[in-house]
Amino acid sequence: MWLSKFFNKEEPVGMSLSWLQTDMHSHLLPGIDDGSPDITTSLQLIKGFKDLGYKKIITTPHVLWEIYPNTTEVILAKQEELSKEIQNAGIDIEFYAAAEYFIDDHFTDQLKNKIPLLTISGNMVLVEFSMVTAPMDLQEVLFDMQMQNYQPVLAHPERYTFLGRKKEIYDQLKDAGCLFQLNLLSLSGYYGGGVQELANYLLKKNYYDFAGTDLHHSRQLSSLQKIPASQIKRLQDLGTLKNHLL
């Protein structure tokens, strides 16, 4: 024991994510995107959330029409199916589903035709775009969302590393009323040093409104459990995250 104290070895995060209460970005619905492939895996991952201290999960399967053409009906049917399995397994956690919408032609068509979008909570809609380049009409799409009383929440802005050369775009997005969601694993370098650097930049700017796991599989769950406690405490001490309000 004294050796551990002497070397000041950091403990893994353990239950310290309980202060967030809610995770609002994951891929737990079985077999409909690149997340959990089956119900057994989904239940194992959800138990992992429970062990990390979460009380509520709002899972967000991809809606990327050319690859994952998930409709609201498909998502809600899978949510209902998995919710019954969670109850049968005796896992005490709230479970809901929304979506992570990729900004593409299908998404803009949904907006144009005023097809209702799945919301994380209230009017908040999680969106993402290409890791290579931002849509030319990004500002227009976000404005159209707001005109339909949706609040855009940009998933993992730190992962768009091409914006590292154009950091003023982050300022423009925040000025336009867009909320930002941090991937917790970005803090540990899981996605690479460039992503970690951008995450730290955005943290210093106090630009993050939510934190999410973006959990797809058990390897990421193991990595979450190994995030140093100091990283999580730093995030908690900022006092800007609103997961507990979801």
Write the CATH number for 87. Answer: 3.20.20.140
The answer to whether residue 201 is domain-embedded is: yes
The answer to whether residue 228 is domain-embedded is: yes
The answer to whether residue 2 is domain-embedded is: no
Q: Indicate the number of domains in the chain.
A: 1
In 48-163, where do the E strands start and end?
Answer: 56-59, 62-63, 94-97, 100-102, 124-128, 151-155
* pLDDT tens for each residue of the chain, 246 residues long: 444 444 444 555 544 799 999 999 999 999 999 999 999 999 999 999 999 999 999 999 999 999 999 999 999 999 999 999 999 999 999 999 999 999 999 999 999 999 999 999 999 999 999 999 999 999 999 999 999 999 999 999 999 999 999 999 999 999 999 999 999 999 999 999 999 999 999 999 999 999 999 999 999 999 998 898 888 998 999 999 999 999
**What's residue 113's pLDDT?**
97
Q: Which residue type does 87 have?
A: Q
The answer to whether residue 192 is domain-embedded is: yes
Return the closest-CA partner of residue 104 out of 60, 71, 141, 151: 141
Domain region containing 235: 11-245
CA–CA gap between residue 92 and residue 95 (Å, rounded)? 9
3-state secondary structure 176-208: CCCEEEEEHHHHHCCCCHHHHHHHHHHHHCCCC
**Taking the complete model, does pTM exceed 0.95, yes or no?**
no
The answer to whether residue 240 is domain-embedded is: yes
The answer to whether residue 5 is domain-embedded is: no
The answer to whether residue 6 is domain-embedded is: no
**What's residue 9's pLDDT?**
47
The answer to whether residue 1 is domain-embedded is: no
Q: Which residue type does 120 have?
A: I
Helix (H) or strand (E) holding 143: helix 138-147
Return the closest-CA partner of residue 162 out of 127, 133, 202, 193: 133
